[in-house]
């Protein structure tokens, strides 16, 4: 596909919007903020130069930019950082027709969406994810939030964006370790919905990067368009996340999200196989695909008691009962409700290392 071509992916639901995938998409930004006099541009330090280009594009369209630099990665995903943003909006006199632009990885787009959702009970937000993880996961779907001491993403709101611009040119400068980490969420989409993704990853993820982004976005767009508020179908997007989020919490968010989810995916596959739900070749494929990308597929065996406790605070839990998204086969996600303790432990022993 030509670099100048733009792919448009529709996200349905009560507040439909579009995800655009292509190169150099800043010209598409101002129309998404039609009627705004001001737009806050939230960004992390590594994206300062790109954020300046975003501000220039807004200024050229007659929209006054308000740049707000956030701490990088998960350090910026706190209620204190969000409060600082609200103070800045207040001082600048932001009204209901003004907007917010999130420029960066998943942490920045999560915070930008949360800031927009809460300011005057909701102003428009446009997401410009500049990481692979942001493009295929965080920026699409309208989930926003911050982390607390109790866990990841426990405080937030559902606030669909006015639009999402996946500018593939930003991936050229993304550190390799972050690109690979983002592929964990792409692989997840392959296992739960689109097995062609797995074939492309196994062939050459770099050569197929644009198609992988588009396929993963389509998987998420299809799911969230049918279930914005995670009342049913959307739960499948949390495949691998129950243990993954517990690992992130134990690591005080020093681990990349994709690295933790990679271990979580292998664990969920082991759990499904031991529960008699998933065939052995598909379970094994989790480990081979993820390890082949250089992603971790093991974690400390001694961490199990702490991880088990953390999983009980997971958003998918119901009362005392743990719930896991598992597979009944390739692209056949289902729920495993209240698995017995010995099964949970046995599955963990398959990913646990000394």
State which fold the 176-353 domain adopts.
Answer: Dehydroquinate synthase-like, alpha domain (1.20.1090)
Decide yes or no: CATH 3.40.640.10 for domain 7-173: no
What is the C-alpha separation between 69 and 298, in angstroms, rounded?
Answer: 35
Return d(Cα 273, Cα 279) in angstroms, integer.
Answer: 6
Binding site membership for Zn(2+): which residues? 185, 241, 257
Domain boundaries, the chain: 7-173, 176-353
* Mean pLDDT score, 30-51: 94
What's the CA gap between 169 and 148, in Å, rounded? 33
Q: Mean of the pLDDT values across residues 46-65? A: 95
- Burial class (CB within 10 angstroms; exposed 0-12, middle 13-18, buried 19+) of 232: exposed
Euclidean distance between CA atoms 143 and 219, whole angstroms: 16
pLDDT tens, position by position, 274-298: 999 999 999 999 999 999 999 999 9
Q: 152 near 249, Cβ under 8 Å? A: yes
The pLDDT value recorded for residue 166 is 95
Residue 317 clears pLDDT 60, i.e. is over it: no
Mean of pLDDT over the chain: 92
Q: pLDDT (tens digit, 9 = 90+) per residue, 115-151?
A: 999 999 999 999 999 999 989 987 787 889 988 887 7
Mean predicted confidence (pLDDT) in 190-206:
97
* pLDDT, tens digit (0-9, with 9 covering 90-100), for 56-97: 999 999 999 999 999 988 887 888 999 999 999 999 999 999
Q: Residue positions in the annotated binding site? A: 72-77, 106-110, 143, 152, 170-173, 185, 241, 257
Per the confidence metrics, is the pTM higher than 0.85? yes
pLDDT by residue (tens digit) across 223-256? 887 766 666 777 899 999 999 999 999 998 899 9
Binding site for NAD(+), by residue number, is 72-77, 106-110, 143, 152, 170-173
């Amino acid at each position: 596909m030509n670099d100048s071509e733009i792919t448009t992916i529709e996200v349905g639901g009560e507040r439909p919007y579009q995800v655009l995938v292509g190169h150099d998409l800043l010209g598409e930004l101002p129309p998404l903020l039609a009627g705004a006099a001001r737009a806050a541009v939230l960004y992390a330090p590594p994206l300062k130069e790109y954020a300046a280009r975003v501000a220039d594009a807004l200024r050229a369209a007659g929209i006054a930019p308000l740049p707000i630099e956030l701490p990088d990665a998960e350090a910026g995903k706190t209620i204190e950082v969000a409060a600082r943003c609200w103070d800045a909006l207040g001082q600048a006199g932001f009204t209901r027709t003004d907007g917010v632009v999130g420029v960066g990885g998943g942490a920045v787009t999560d915070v930008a969406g949360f800031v927009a959702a809460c300011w005057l009970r909701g102003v428009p937000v446009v997401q410009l994810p500049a990481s692979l993880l942001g493009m295929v996961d965080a920026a699409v779907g309208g989930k926003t939030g911050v982390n607390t001491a109790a866990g990841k993403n426990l405080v937030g709101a559902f606030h669909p964006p006015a639009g999402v611009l996946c500018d593939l040119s930003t991936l050229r400068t993304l550190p390799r370790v972050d690109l690979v980490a983002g592929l964990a969420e792409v692989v997840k989409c392959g296992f739960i919905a689109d097995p062609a993704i797995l074939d492309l990853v196994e062939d050459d993820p770099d050569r197929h990067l644009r198609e992988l982004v588009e396929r993963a976005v389509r998987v998420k767009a299809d799911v969230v368009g049918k279930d914005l508020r995670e009342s049913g179908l959307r739960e499948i997007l949390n495949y691998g996340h129950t243990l993954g989020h517990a690992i992130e919490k134990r690591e005080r968010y020093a681990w990349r999200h994709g690295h933790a989810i990679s271990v979580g995916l292998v664990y969920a596959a082991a759990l499904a196989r031991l529960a008699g739900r998933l065939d052995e070749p598909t379970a094994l494929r989790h480990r081979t695909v993820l390890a082949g990308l250089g992603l971790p597929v093991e974690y400390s065996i001694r961490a199990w008691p702490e991880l088990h406790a953390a999983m009980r605070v997971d958003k998918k839990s119901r009362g005392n009962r743990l719930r896991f998204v598992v597979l009944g086969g390739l692209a056949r996600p289902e729920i495993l409700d209240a698995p017995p303790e010995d099964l949970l432990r046995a599955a963990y022993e398959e990913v646990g290392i000394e």
